[in-house]
Amino acid sequence: MNDGVAEAEGTAPQARDGAFLPYRGLRFWLSFKWLIAGALLYALLLLVAIEAKPEDVISPFLGPSFYLTPFFGLPLVLRTVHRPGRLRRLIYFLAVVPAVNMAAIYVAFYHLMSTYDPIDTGSTFLRAVSSGAWGGVGGAVLGFTGLYLVRLTPRRRAELIAMGFFTLLLGAVGAAGLGQAVLFAGPDLIAASHDTERLIIGFESVHLSWQAAFAFALAWLMRPPHAAKRVASPPAA
């Protein structure tokens, strides 16, 4: 692949796919559209899983919220399988992100259950917002740490600042998503394993919104680093 073709297809040229080579990146729109496609695919499969076995969706560990997560990054992994960095993307989206998602769900689930009061249902919304914020921030911190460690983002101060901003954004999206789930599906959503309609509304409200925001953040952080500007040499005398 020559430099012109590589530029047109959305990534800078690279000689080989090595684990310790400098990251060359993917264009923002290439990553974003395929990650959004993955988020929609995940949402569709989650709907099917809830319809099939609604009692399993409550589990924060081995439920569909965990084993369906690889489908979030699978479209991008397959679309860019011929590009440099394929091994890093494979590891990150098919192994790291599912583990991160499980951890984020556990943080939100644990916080919500530890503060759950079946008598005081009036403050359920506020507890859900708080739990969603904890889960959103936890998922963002772990997700961006994994992205940095597998070298899928440039290691610069600008990216670290962007990670901090996106962490706050994903915390807010997580809070809004879980709060919206409680508003739409009811305060006793956790105990509604028999009501598939409420489970679909609740879980899709949380997962789809957060994954869409996460897709934007990842696409932004995985962009190619800008080359340093060259100082023009003075003309020869």
pLDDT tens, position by position, 97-136: 999 888 888 887 777 666 666 555 557 778 888 888 999 9
Q: Given pLDDT bands bounded at 50, 70 and 90, which one contains residue 12?
A: very low
Q: What is the pLDDT of residue 70?
A: 93
Neighbours of 13 (CB within 10 A): 14
Average pLDDT over residues 67-90: 93
Q: Given pLDDT bands bounded at 50, 70 and 90, which one contains residue 155?
A: confident
Q: Given pLDDT bands bounded at 50, 70 and 90, which one contains residue 13?
A: very low
CA torsion through residues 125, 127, 133, 136, sign? negative
Residue ranges in the chain assigned as alpha helix (H): 3-9, 28-52, 64-67, 70-79, 86-91, 97-114, 124-149, 157-185, 196-221
Neighbours of 28 (CB within 10 A): 16
Q: What are the pLDDT digits (tens) for 23-38?
A: 678 999 999 999 999 9
CA distances (Å), origin 179, targets 28, 52, 175, 225? 30, 25, 6, 37
The pTM score is 0.80
Residue 211, pLDDT above cutoff 60: yes
C-alpha span between 200 and 222 (Å, rounded): 31
Q: What are the pLDDT digits (tens) for 169-195?
A: 999 999 998 888 877 766 655 555 566
Q: Given pLDDT bands bounded at 50, 70 and 90, which one contains residue 20?
A: low
Residue 69, pLDDT above cutoff 60: yes
